C-alpha cells in the first residue's frame, strides 16, 4: 500500500464506519486514480479540496436527509430543529427591538441606537447589530418557506456584525461589556444555530414550504414580549425586580420550559427532544453568568429558578431523545 493510499484511508475515517464498509475501497480507488502514480519519496498528501469533499460528505451522511437511515435522519432533523429554534429566538428579539425603536422615536426618547457620538464605533455597531437581527428574521422566514439558499445567505449576513460587535472590542480595545463569559455565551446563541443551519440543511435534504403563519410566528412572540410588562402590572405583579428577570431572555426560558414539558409529556420524537435539550443548554450557558453578577435577592432567586428549570429539563430531554433514537443498524429509509 502506497503512502498516498494510506493517507486517503486516514481521511476517509471522517466517514461513519458503516458507510466506509460499503464505499471505502471504491472511494480510495477513485482518489488514487485521479492522483496518478506518485512515489512515496515526494511525501504525497491528499489535496485540501478532496479533504473538504470528504468532510462535507461526512456531515451529509451523519445528518441524514433523503434516503438516510432512520438514526441519521433523526440526528439531522434534530440539528435542523435547533437551527430553527435559534433563528426563531433571534427573530423574536428583532421584532421587539424594531417596535421598541419605533415607539421611542415617536415619543422623542433615547434608544440604544442613539448611544455614542454620530459615526462612532459604538453607534455604527449598534445599528449593524439591529440590522443583523432583522437578517435573522428574514432567514427564519426563508427557511420555513423552503428557500434554503436565501436563508443561509441572510443568516451569514446577520451573524457577521454580531461577531464584530462582540469580538473586536474584547480583543482590540480590552472591553468586555458584561464580562467575557457573558459575551461569549451571547455569541454562542448566534453562532451555534448558524452552524446548525449550514450543516443540517445540506444538499441531501429536501426543503418543504411551510405556511406564512409559522414563518411569522416569531414576530407574534416578539409582540407578546413587549406586552408582558403591561400584562404583569395589570395582574398586580408590581415588583419590578421580579418582572425584569422574566423579560427578554427570561421569557424565552419560560416558553422553552413549556415546550420541553409538552415534548416530555407527549413522548414526541427523539429529534424534538434532542433539539430542545441542546437549546436548553445554550440558554443555561447564557443565564449562568447572571448568578455571579446579581446580589442575593429576588432577581438572584429568579435566575436560580430559571437555571434549575433549564438544567433539569435539558437532562431529561437528552435522556429521552437518546433513548428514543432508532437502532444503529436500521434499514435505510425511503
Which tens digit of pLDDT belongs to each residue from 150-161?
Answer: 999 999 988 887
Which residue in 160, 136, 129, 130 sits closest to 83, CA to CA? 136
Same domain, 312 and 243: yes
Same domain, 195 and 214: yes
Same domain, 105 and 136: yes
Q: H/E element holding 319?
A: helix 298-323
pLDDT of res. 130: 75
Same domain, 184 and 314: no
Same domain, 150 and 191: yes
User: Does a structural domain hold residue 4?
Assistant: no
User: Does a structural domain hold residue 53?
Assistant: no
Instruction: Give the Å distances, CA to CA, from 130 to 112, 124, 135, 153, 195.
Output: 10, 10, 9, 17, 20
pLDDT of res. 331: 39
Same domain, 257 and 229: no
Rounded to 5°, the CA angle 101-96-184 comes to 100
Domain end (from 236, 260, 278): 236
pLDDT tens sequence across 232-274: 555 555 555 666 667 778 888 888 999 999 999 987 789 999 9
User: Does a structural domain hold residue 143?
Assistant: yes
Instruction: Give the Å distances, CA to CA, from 49 to 6, 53, 146, 200, 279.
Output: 18, 6, 29, 21, 33
Angle between helix axes 70-107 and 180-200 (nearest 10 degrees) is 130
User: Does a structural domain hold residue 136?
Assistant: yes
- The reported pTM is 0.82
Same domain, 190 and 292: no
Domain end (from 236, 253, 271): 236
Overall number of domains in the chain: 2
Q: What is the residue range of 247's domain?
A: 239-325
User: Does a structural domain hold residue 8?
Assistant: no
Rounded to 5°, the CA angle 264-270-276 comes to 60
Same domain, 174 and 250: no
Same domain, 250 and 228: no
pLDDT of res. 53: 92
Same domain, 211 and 285: no
User: Does a structural domain hold residue 12?
Assistant: no
User: Does a structural domain hold residue 35?
Assistant: no
Domain end (from 236, 263, 278): 236
**Under a CB-based contact definition with an 8 Å cutoff, are residues 294 and 247 in contact?**
no
pLDDT < 70 stretches in the chain = 100-123, 125, 165, 167-182, 225-245, 329-334
Same domain, 263 and 191: no
pLDDT tens sequence across 24-59: 999 999 988 888 888 878 888 889 999 999 999 999
pLDDT of res. 90: 84
User: Does a structural domain hold residue 292?
Assistant: yes
Amino acid at each position: 500500500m502506497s503512502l498516498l493510499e494510506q493517507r486517503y484511508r486516514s481521511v476517509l475515517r471522517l466517514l461513519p464506519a458503516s458507510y466506509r464498509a460499503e464505499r471505502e475501497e471504491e472511494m480510495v480507488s477513485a482518489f488514487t486514480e485521479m492522483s496518478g502514480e506518485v512515489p512515496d519519496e515526494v511525501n504525497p498528501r491528499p489535496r485540501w479540496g478532496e479533504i473538504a469533499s470528504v468532510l462535507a460528505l461526512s456531515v451529509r451522511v451523519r445528518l441524514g436527509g433523503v434516503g438516510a437511515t432512520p438514526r441519521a435522519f433523526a440526528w439531522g432533523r434534530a440539528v435542523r430543529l435547533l437551527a430553527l429554534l435559534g433563528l426563531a429566538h433571534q427573530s423574536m428579539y428583532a421584532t421587539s427591538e424594531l417596535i421598541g425603536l419605533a415607539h421611542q422615536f415617536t415619543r422623542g426618547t433615547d434608544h440604544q441606537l442613539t448611544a455614542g457620538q454620530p459615526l462612532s464605533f459604538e453607534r455604527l455597531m449598534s445599528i449593524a447589530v439591529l440590522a443583523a437581527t432583522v437578517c435573522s428574521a428574514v432567514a427564519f422566514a426563508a427557511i420555513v418557506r423552503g428557500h434554503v439558499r436565501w436563508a443561509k445567505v441572510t443568516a451569514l449576513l446577520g451573524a457577521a456584525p454580531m461577531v464584530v460587535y462582540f469580538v473586536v472590542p474584547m480583543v482590540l480595545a480590552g472591553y468586555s461589556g458584561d464580562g467575557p463569559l457573558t459575551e461569549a455565551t451571547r455569541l454562542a446563541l448566534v453562532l451555534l444555530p448558524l452552524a446548525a443551519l449550514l450543516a443540517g440543511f445540506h444538499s441531501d435534504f429536501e426543503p418543504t414550504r411551510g405556511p406564512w403563519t409559522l414563518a411569522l410566528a416569531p414576530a407574534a412572540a416578539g409582540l407578546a414580549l413587549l406586552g408582558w410588562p403591561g400584562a404583569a402590572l395589570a395582574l398586580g405583579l408590581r415588583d419590578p425586580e421580579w418582572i425584569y428577570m422574566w423579560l427578554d431572555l427570561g421569557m424565552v426560558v419560560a416558553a422553552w420550559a413549556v415546550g420541553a414539558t409538552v415534548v416530555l409529556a407527549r413522548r414526541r420524537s427523539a429529534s424534538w427532544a434532542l433539539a430542545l435539550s441542546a437549546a436548553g443548554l445554550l440558554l443555561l450557558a447564557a443565564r449562568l453568568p447572571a448568578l455571579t453578577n446579581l446580589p442575593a435577592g429576588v432577581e438572584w432567586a429568579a435566575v436560580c429558578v430559571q437555571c434549575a428549570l433549564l438544567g433539569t429539563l435539558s437532562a431529561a430531554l437528552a435522556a429521552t431523545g437518546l433513548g428514543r433514537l432508532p437502532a444503529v443498524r436500521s434499514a435505510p429509509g425511503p
